[in-house]
Structure 1
């Protein structure tokens, strides 16, 4: 890992949904935000696991939930969970009217079977 801090509280999120899923027309279960660069990716319960892929590709180890009402952080390098941490640039979550799973119109009817639920 580089000497720079794994968290930059001044960087806003990259959007309202998973960057890669949006580009490919995919869907997600929950969203995660890179605490270093603001990249929004999908969680490990989502089909594509883009948040973890982003952390591996960039060396940015810390994510924060991008779900409404959730302020927890996770460090991939140390496998440590933090119930809270520093405030990050707004917004704190995807829009409240965005469904989970999401986004609206792209979630298959059998989504729960596709993720093992």
Structure 2
């Protein structure tokens, strides 16, 4: 088995977007758009560029994706996730 340098467990290619973000701290643990619309969320994602918190892609509002589409901030991290989990919207995969 060949292991790629900089990859997670030798299978996922390294994503350059992770090292390009400033890793901002998350805002309030709520999706403000969902609260306004009266929607529930499955999980929350925090933008690693600016700290904006929004609901995940598996939530009815998909507001974290909407934030990416408006801002081009590439990577978000799931709040309260063990182990930590990050998603690159550019590549469409966990990083």
Structure 1 match to 2:33:
20
Structure 2 match to 1:64:
77
RMSD over equivalenced CA pairs, Å: 1.7
Unaligned runs of 5+ in 1: 83-117
Q: Any conservation in 1 of the 2:25–2:48 contact (CA below 8 Å)? A: no
TM-score (norm 2): 0.70
Q: CA deviation at 1:6?
A: 4.5
Structure 2 match to 1:45:
58
Q: Any conservation in 2 of the 1:32–1:42 contact (CA below 8 Å)? A: yes
Which structure is richer in relative contact order (CA contacts within 8 A, separation 6 or more)?
1
**More helix as a share of residues:** 2
Q: Classify 1:15/1:75 alpha carbon distance in 2 versus 1 (closer, same or farther; 3 Å).
A: same
